Amino acid sequence: MLSATIMFEEVFAILKRVDCVCFDVDSTVIREEGIDELAKFCGKGLEVAKLTSQAMSGSMTFQEALKLRLNIIQPTIGQVQDFIRMYPPTLTPGVKTLVDVLHRRKVPVYLISGGFRCIIIPIADQLKISHNHIFANRLKFYFTGEYAGFDEDQPTSQSGGKGLVIQHLKQTCGYKNVVLIGDGVTDLEAAPPADAFIGYGGNVIRATVKAKAKWFVTNFNEICNVLVNQANV
């Protein structure tokens, strides 16, 4: 079994030459789980939170969990718009500084999420991340505004979807050293094709992720310090 030091050094080696960083969003870039908060807003919080926990621990496929949760919530377009306006998500402390450091180094930053694009766009705006760098699910509504499902063609709607997005980015953009940062099993499983995975536990600690990540942090400053010190060498 590799020691913690050796495993960290593997991630550090990729960070030294990183040319793309991808972030999970819920419980990583923001403090909340977006679908759980939307469920609470729609009066379905307890039922959905239980399913989210099961999905993040890997006890059911992501497709199963997403479909079940949305079928419980049945959000209308009006509810979604009111939710975004009344309960904007909270950026995790330190994430803006980390993204700013990466942007100053001309490292492209992407948001890859099993959450919803309409909720993530305001987050990207706060972090000055292009909307073209968002890969997330899209809700569908009937002309009456009632819930009509979600776009099942989006890679992030399926298990293994984050890996598909990263593979796509590597093929189309030529990235050779991709780092993925996230809190869940769906993030852990996306490396490879991500060249390195950093587990994040500053909002929620998932036991499986903590146990299997080669580097697990609870504060984004830990990553910032490595990048800044590296730049000063």
Residue 158 DSSP label: S
Alpha carbons 76 and 63: distance in angstroms, whole number: 21
- The answer, yes or no, to whether the previous bond of 192 is cis (omega within 30 of 0) is yes
Residues 99, 67 contacting (CB under 8 angstroms): no
- Whether 187 is catalytic is no
Alpha carbons 90 and 75: distance in angstroms, whole number: 21
The type of residue at 2 is L
Alpha carbons 183 and 44: distance in angstroms, whole number: 24
Residue 94 DSSP label: T
- Whether 26 is catalytic is yes
Which position among 24, 36, 183, 195 bears the catalytic label? Answer: 24
Residue 92 DSSP label: P
Contacts of 16 (CB under 8 A, 6+ apart): 230
First to last CA, the chain: 31
Computed on alpha carbons and rounded to an integer, the radius of gyration of the chain in Å comes to: 17
**Residue with structure tokens 């049945």?**
74
Alpha carbons 128 and 117: distance in angstroms, whole number: 15
Which position among 19, 26, 187, 195 bears the catalytic label? Answer: 26
Residues 164, 180 contacting (CB under 8 angstroms): no
The residues annotated with a catalytic role in the active site are 24, 26
